[in-house]
Amino acid sequence: MNHEALLSARAQAVEISGVRKVFELGRTLHNPINLSIGQPHFDVPEPLKNAAKAAIDAGHNGYTVTQGIPELLTALQADVQSRFPGQNRTVLVTSGTSGGLLLALLAVINPGDEVIIPDPYFVAYPQLVTLVGGSLVVVDTYDDFRLDLNRLHDAITPRTKAILLSTPANPTGAVLDPTTQQELAELCHRRGVLLISDEIYRAFHYDTPPRSPAHYNPEVLVIEGFGKSYGMTGWRLGWAHGPQPLIQAMTKLQQFTFVCAPSIVQYAGVAALNFDVSAILADYKRKRDLVVDALKNDYELVVPGGAFYLFPKVPRGTATEFVNQAIEHNLLMIPGNVFSRRDTHFRISYAASDDTLQRGIAILRRMARQ
């Protein structure tokens, strides 16, 4: 049997993640200096571990209702109401933020509908749009990674159904300022376009308080998660909040796909909402400043306002060539073409120990001065 002939056009159109390629490469190297993976370097806090263990021991190991356990839903709904007073927003617990994003696109995108994303973008966005049969439209944000609303306005057509972006952003760490958020939210309202705001890095705002486009438009769909803030990326717990009809459609689709978010992790999520992450945030801000200060004289870069990534410009050649040279020094990073139509920058994740960061910095400074 020709198994390749059995594969759908959808499966063949989706590409293997460039980030995962580097992740697998890292497993073959001896003690690599790994600045490639967007995963917190700290362990899950003990109170969250204890809540998950207690849930197992209490027998909470079966299916939950699709929307999420009542304890978590109630806590999340209260959080949303406190941050978005006066809005009638509905909550859904999802299997990670990726699960929430897929459900959102499945709920609104018909074959041929256009989805606009800023470039650079999170590696999964183009593949998710392909997966649901949408047509991808990218809006360039180089060289400062600020979203130009005039460019965005010009990219909207009668076929545009949604705009998908992250703030703070992966891979650049860029944060949408409140004025741009308001103008973007109002533009989407006027044009009847759904704005999907991926806010998985909401806890990681370094220079300004967290703000969402949903503050200016209750129709904005927000996707959030627990993985980055609490070091529990493998536990797959996210949540979405937005207009009730859209959340209801996503809930229906979750019934027949993910079924529900992992049961024991939802109980850990309740504990997470009572855990103070300010010390973690302060440590990551320090790491950001450490890396920026060490590299700013050797690389052209934009200081990230959030997340835990730096996206410098390569000093010569393409990013792929530069990253391959770094691998020869046992240093792992991600070339820019994984996140972009361009291959001029590379992504560093500073979610690493100080020792790892210092080793990586030393190699990068030597490479820049060659």
Distance CA 66, CA 253 (A): 10
Q: What is the pLDDT of residue 18?
A: 60
Q: What is the pLDDT of residue 30?
A: 75
Per-residue buried b or exposed e for 291-324, using 16+ beta carbons within 10 Å of the residue's own CB: bbebbeebbebbebbbbbbbbbbbeeebbbebbe
Domains of the chain from N-terminus onward = 3-44+277-368 (3.90.1150.10), 62-272 (3.40.640.10)
Q: What is the pLDDT of residue 34?
A: 94
What pLDDT, in 10s, does the model give residues 56-95? 999 999 999 999 999 999 999 999 999 999 999 999 999 9
* Tens digit of each residue's pLDDT, the chain (370 residues): 676 778 888 888 887 766 666 666 666 777 889 999 888 999 999 999 999 999 999 999 999 999 999 999 999 999 999 999 999 999 999 999 999 999 999 999 999 999 999 999 999 999 999 999 999 999 999 999 999 999 999 999 999 999 999 999 999 999 999 999 999 999 999 999 999 999 999 999 999 999 999 999 999 999 999 999 999 999 999 999 999 999 999 999 999 999 999 999 999 999 999 999 999 999 999 999 999 999 999 999 999 999 999 999 999 999 999 999 999 999 999 999 999 999 999 999 999 999 999 999 999 999 999 8
Distance CA 229, CA 204 (A): 8
Q: What is the pLDDT of residue 21?
A: 67
332 CB neighbour count, 10 Å cutoff? 22
163 CB neighbour count, 10 Å cutoff? 27
Q: What is the pLDDT of residue 6?
A: 84
Name the packing angle between helices 263-272 and 70-83 (round to 10°).
Answer: 40
Residue 15: DSSP 8-state: P
Which among 138, 102, 317 has a CA at the least distance from the CA of 221? 102
CA–CA distance from 147 to each of 60, 123, 144, 216, 243 (Å)? 44, 18, 9, 17, 25
Question: Which spans in 84-206 are helix H?
Answer: 96-108, 124-131, 149-155, 178-191
Q: What is the pLDDT of residue 91?
A: 98
